[in-house]
Amino acid sequence: MTDGVLETEIKLRVTGPDDATALLRRHGFAPIRERVFEANSVYDLPDGSLRAKGELLRLRLAGGAAVLTWKGPAIPGKHKLRPETEVGVANFDLCARLLRDLGYVLTFRYDKYRTEFQASAGAGTVTLDETPIGTFLELEGPSEWIDEVAALLGFSAADYITESYGLLFFPLLRVLGDCARVHAISRVTV
């Protein structure tokens, strides 16, 4: 969990979970958190003002643990850098009801499987995210560490993805149509 820190990260598209796991293991990364299913619910005010300001309010349920996250506007650069505050919540359903009672609406839901990796001398974390739109490595840590690890794994800055999963899902949402927006994505699993 984070307490008002600046999150620095990138995503890298990979061919699949088996190849990505083998690549990470070859370079000294070992799982620190085994594969877990995550249900991510994104909330906004009815007028979309959080999204319009580049902010995100997400309630995540992963392996029985619920986390409420606020992310502030991104700071321009080759890495995704933005303020982030996370807090654990005791009850996912009650927190969702509280958000609705405060006037927030569920605007997007996406599911994924996530495995976390770290090297013994690592200054950051690599997560393997299996989503309905593909498999990604997410590198989170200091900028220099991200660049070093990406290069070690065979990627360059041209491969960096700084968009959120929400933005990456939008082309699929257009194909599914607005009526299927939340429901269909929440039913797609890897």
pLDDT at 3: 62
* pTM of this structure: 0.85
pLDDT at 176: 60
The angle at the Cα of 77, spanning 72 to 79, to the nearest 5 degrees, equals 75
pLDDT at 4: 65
All structural domains of the chain, each given as residue ranges with its CATH number in brackets, are: 5-187 (2.40.320.10)
pLDDT at 175: 59
Measured distance CA(105)–CA(17) in Å, rounded: 33
Measured distance CA(149)–CA(156) in Å, rounded: 10
Residue ranges of the chain whose pLDDT lies below 50: 179-190
The angle at the Cα of 169, spanning 125 to 106, to the nearest 5 degrees, equals 95
| pLDDT per position as a tens digit, 39-48 | 999 999 999 9
| pLDDT per position as a tens digit, 110-125 | 999 999 999 877 789 9
| Residue 70 buriedness (CB in 10 A; 0-12 / 13-18 / 19+) | middle
Measured in degrees and rounded to the nearest 5, phi and psi for residue 89 equal -125, 145
Measured distance CA(45)–CA(57) in Å, rounded: 10
Compute the residue count for the chain.
190
